[in-house]
Chain A
């Protein structure tokens, strides 16, 4: 069965960095585009970033452009997001999500990892 398991969340001071990981299993990871989506406490979903199946194409929401870097290691079946210059408004649960093959939408989600940016 498809599983996505995020890790790397925690409490970090403003201006610092954090790298989140998403370990994938139960499917051919290298065949799927992947995304990061976040949700601030008590708020709605916000799309963060996309990476193509082979890592050649990356796209970002304005909120993370220039600060966040999405990447993947298909040999390790793992998705990453490097988050630099973190701000209080980056506080959220971060989900990784799989793109439906050959179309658009997120068909599987991880359980999320909480990032708290606070001094």
Chain B
């Protein structure tokens, strides 16, 4: 159950786009279309932003989009806004016994 690999940090100016990668293996990210993404502001609970690789829950702005290629999933935040500054975590189903795994987390800074 090794954590999925994310870059520690990413940044962009307001209005720009930032893309965060999430790399796993064929046993998790690459094997299933069950990648989800969470936003976490300091001291707060995580919030679901994307599920099933690219689906947005109601209320999540369409500036947030997800994709996957092979063993790597990606979250793109377009039109960066100050409130997007937060930690972002990916998560994947691992296919065995309902196990789940999270990514190492990426701190997004809006310059």
Query: Whole-angstrom distance between the alpha carbons of A47 and B2 in the complex?
Result: 11
A47 touches B100 (CB 8 A): yes
Interface residues on B, range: 20 to 34
Q: Which residues of B contact A50 (CB under 8 A)?
A: 98-100
Task: Identify which of B34, B102, B103 contacts A103 (C-beta below 8 A).
Answer: B34
Contact present for B91 and A95 (CB under 8 Å): no
Interface locus among A8-16, A24-32, A57-65, A83-91: A57-65
With contact pairs A103-B52, A106-B46, A112-B45 given, residues A44 and B34 touching in the complex (Cβ less than 8 Å): no
Q: What residue of chain A has the Cβ atom nearest to residue B37's Cβ?
A: A105
Shortest distance between the CB of B31 and any CB in chain A (Å): 12
Which residues 2-42 of A have a CB within 8 angstroms of B? 35, 37
Is there a chain A Cβ closer than 8 Å to B64's Cβ?
no
Q: Please list the residues of chain A having a beta carbon within 8 angstroms of any beta carbon in chain B.
A: 35, 37, 44-47, 50, 57, 59, 61-62, 95, 97, 100, 103-112
A35 to B91 alpha-carbon distance, docked (Å)? 13
Closest Cβ of chain A to B95, distance in Å, is: 10
Measured between alpha carbons, how far is A53 from B18 in the docked complex, in Å? 37
Contact assessment for A44 and B102 in the assembled complex, using a CB-CB cutoff below 8 Å: yes
Q: Return chain A residues, CB-CB under 8 Å to B57.
A: 107
Residues of A within 8 A of B40 (CB): 45
Distance between A46 CB and nearest chain B CB, rounded to angstroms: 6
Find out whether the CB atom of B45 lies under 8 angstroms from the CB atom of A104.
Answer: no
Cβ–Cβ contact B98 & A45, under 8 A: no
Q: Contact check, A106 vs B38: say whether CB atoms are below 8 A apart.
A: yes
CA distance A59 to B100 in the complex (A): 10
Interface core residue of B40, B100, B103, B105 (most chain A CB under 10 Å): B100
Q: Is the CB of B98 within 8 A of A57?
A: yes
List A contacts of B98 (CB < 8 A): 50, 57, 59
Nearest neighbor of A109 in chain B, beta-carbon distance: B45
State which of A35, A44, A110 has its C-beta within 8 Å of the C-beta of B105. A44
